[in-house]
Every structure is written in structure tokens, then in C-alpha cells.
Amino acid sequence: MNEEEIAVMQEENAALKESTDSMQSKMNELLGEAKKAKTERKAAEETARIAAEENAKQSGDFEQMFKSSEEQRTALQSDLEGLRGTIANEKRNAAAQRVALELADGSNAELLAAFIAPRLKYSDDGVKVLDSAGQVTVSTTADLAAEFKNNAKYSSLLKGNQSSGGSAPGGDQTGSAGDKTLTRGEFDNLTPFKKMEFIKSGGTTVD
């Protein structure tokens, strides 16, 4: 092999080495880019995971807050309805007592008020008179007073119709429905059924 052939081979080797070095450099560049992309992808996945966990936590907190708020609102609404019911009953009973006092005195007025109250209803428009079926009517409390005044069932409770007490039972203090006159204490000791029976029979109470 002469010098010229050796020079040609050296040039070819140099070109091959240069090409190999270039390929290695390109491969290293591609590997670096792939590694960088993989790292960035993992970072993006981790960021997405953290964001998803945070969103889930916030959603859970919001749901709990909403549930707590609803429970509080329901409790307040229940308290408000209860208060309104109490006020309505007090207004109704006060109106029944006023009507009863126009017609009867003392404990008889209390008894009469117990019958009048179910015929009244308090609303935002004031006290309304109900019929026997519980429906609102256009009648006034004065009309209701006249109705009770003219009802023979309650006549023994009305002013001027009460017994003086002379016929109150002496030896038997059991307070049966047949007794026409009882003391307030005797009446209070009766069962609800006996009280109703006593009133219907025309009985009266004395202090």
C-alpha cells in the first residue's frame, strides 16, 4: 500500500469517526430530550393529581358546609314555626277568654272559654271565627258570643243562671256527673270524661 492509498484510508477513517461522533451527539441529544419530556410529564401528572385532590377536598368542604347550613336553616324554621304556633294559641285563648268573660263569671268563664277556643283561629289577619266543621266564617266574636249565649247546653254557665251553691252535695263529694253544683276543687278532680258529662248535664261550679 503506497502513501496515497494510506492517505485515502486515513481520510475515510476520519470521515467515519466524524459521522459516528455526530450520530452519538444526536443520540445523546434525543435521549436528553426524552428524559426531559418524561420528567416534565411526571411533573404535570403530579400537579394534576394535587389539583384533583384539592378540588375534591374543596368539594367535600362545600358539601359539608351546605349540609350544615341546611340543618341550621331547618332548625331555625322549626323554631320559628313553633313560636308562631305558640303566639297563635295565646292570641286565640285570650280572645276566647274575653268572649267567655262577657257571658260568665269566675271558674264558669274558664269552663266556657275551653269550649269557645276551638271555634277561634288566629292568623296574620287577626282572630277568625270557625264553624263547627273548623272552617273560617265571616262571623265576628260578637256573633260567636251570641251563639253560645243562645245555646241551652251552656246556659248553666252564663251570668245570672249559676246556682248559689245551696244544692252542692254535702255527704257525697265524689263529683259525679249527676251533681248539679260542684266546688272548683271537686271539678278539677274529675276525669276529662266526667267533666264533659258534668257540663253537658247543666252542672255549675262555685268557688
Same-domain status, 94 and 188: no
State whether 173 and 151 are in the same domain: no
Residue 31 lies in a domain: no
- Measure the CA dihedral 126/129/134/136, to 10°: -70
Grid coordinates belonging to 128: 277568625
178 lies in the same domain as 77 = no
∠ CA 135-200-148, nearest 5°, is: 45
Return the pLDDT at 162: 52
Do 160 and 131 touch, CB atoms closer than 8 A? no
State residue 1's pLDDT score.
Answer: 61
Residues 133 and 176 in one domain: no
Residue 105, in any domain of the structure: yes
> Does any domain span residue 15?
no
- Assess whether 83 and 175 both reside in one domain: no
- pLDDT computed for residue 120 by the predictor: 92
> What is the value of pTM for the model shown?
0.46
Distance CA 206, CA 91 (A): 27
Asked whether residue 10 is assigned to any structural domain, the reply reads no
With respect to residue 152, please indicate whether it lies within any of the assigned structural domains: yes
- Evaluate whether residue 6 is within a structural domain: no
pLDDT (0 to 100) of residue 116 = 92
> Do 119 and 181 share a domain, yes or no?
no
What range does the domain containing 92 cover?
41-161
Cell 277568625 -> residue: 128
Do both 62 and 118 map to the same domain? yes
| pLDDT in single tens digits along all 207 residues of the chain | 667 766 667 676 666 667 666 667 767 777 777 777 778 888 888 887 777 777 766 666 777 777 878 888 888 888 888 888 888 888 889 899 999 999 988 888 888 989 999 989 988 888 899 988 889 888 898 999 999 989 888 888 888 765 444 333 333 334 444 457 888 778 777 776 677 777 777 777 776
Q: Is there a domain that residue 2 lies in? A: no
How many separate domains does the chain show? 2
Q: Are residues 50 and 143 in the same domain?
A: yes
